[in-house]
Copies of this chain bind each other. A is one copy, B any other.
Amino acid sequence: MSTASSSLPDTDLLRQTIRASGLKVTAPRVAVLRALQRLPHSSAERVFDRVKDELAGTSTQAVYGILAAFTGAGLVRRFDPPGSPALFECRVGDNHHHLVCIRCSAIRDVDCVIGEAPCLEPSDDAGFVILSAEVTFNGLCEQCRTISSTDDNP
Contacts and interface: CB of A to CB of B under 8 A. Distances in A.
Nearest to A97: B122
Contacts of A131: 102, 138-140
Interface stretch (A45-53, A55-63, A107-115): A107-115
A82 to B, nearest CB: 5
B99 A122 contact: yes
Most buried by B among A82, A101, A122, A131: A122
Interface string A119-148: 111111111111111111111111001000
Interface residues of A, number: 42
A86 interface: yes
Contact of A110 (B111, B113, B124, B137): B124
Interface of A: 78-83, 86, 97, 99, 101-102, 108, 110-114, 119-142, 145
28 contacts: A80-B80, A80-B82, A82-B86, A99-B122, A99-B125, A99-B126, A102-B131, A110-B122, A110-B124, A110-B125, A111-B124, A113-B122, A113-B123, A114-B114, A119-B135, A122-B137, A126-B142, A127-B145, A128-B139, A129-B140, A131-B139, A131-B140, A132-B138, A133-B138, A134-B136, A134-B137, A135-B135, A135-B136
